[in-house]
Structure 1
């Protein structure tokens, strides 16, 4: 695993974000975590992956802005219908741990 230089990674991310979205992001650093535009906190390695994604999709978004294709519209409608209408997931952490405890130790009692 290579060492990442935070200044270089943030600079590259800022450039890729600006080219993809047309505005400069606000990057807040707290204890090794980075928050982009007040969103979810990510580590430096995730920030580098986001840079690569933005750089690779940056050319795609520029062409999509000029002329949207039918395949883009179909993909957008598929993602809208795949989400749960209420916006909630059916996954429950409590149920997950109950199933895990029972699977590891059959006959054990569940925590309260």
Structure 2
């Protein structure tokens, strides 16, 4: 594993971010962790991976805030879909046990 020079990586990341998003990122460093525009904390090696992703993308990438909002909308849509997909079944546990009791002891009375 090679040693990463943090100034070089941050400088390259800033350039790639500017070209992709049109603005400079706000990078906060604390204890070896880096936060880009108030997003998730990542290590320096993750920033280096993000450089290649930003450079390889042909079109502009959505900002981090828009991605999370978009993901929340998708999750909400999935939750609504699952609620609609559930239908009431005709199976009843109470009725099942009543049938079991009557099958085992014909002529007996059902419990209250």
Q: Partners of 1:61 and 1:11 in 2: how far apart? A: 21
Structure of higher CA gyration radius? 2
Partner of 1:85: 76
Q: What secondary structure is seen at the aligned counterpart in 2 of 1:85? A: helix
* Secondary structure of the structure 2 residue equivalent to 1:84: helix
2: CA distance, partners of 1:21 / 1:44: 20
Q: CA deviation at 1:54?
A: 0.2
Match in the other structure for 2:51: 51
Report how far residue 87 of structure 1 moved.
Answer: 7.7
Give unmatched runs, 5+ long, in structure 1: 65-78, 89-112
Equivalent position of 1:61 in the other structure: 59
2:11 is matched with 11
TM-score, normalization by structure 1:
0.55
Aligned residue for 2:76, secondary structure, equals coil
Normalised by the length of structure 2, the TM-score is 0.55
Q: Give the count of matched residue pairs.
A: 70
Cα distance in structure 2, aligned partners of 1:84 and 1:2 = 39
**Structure 2, gaps ≥5 residues long:** 62-69, 80-112
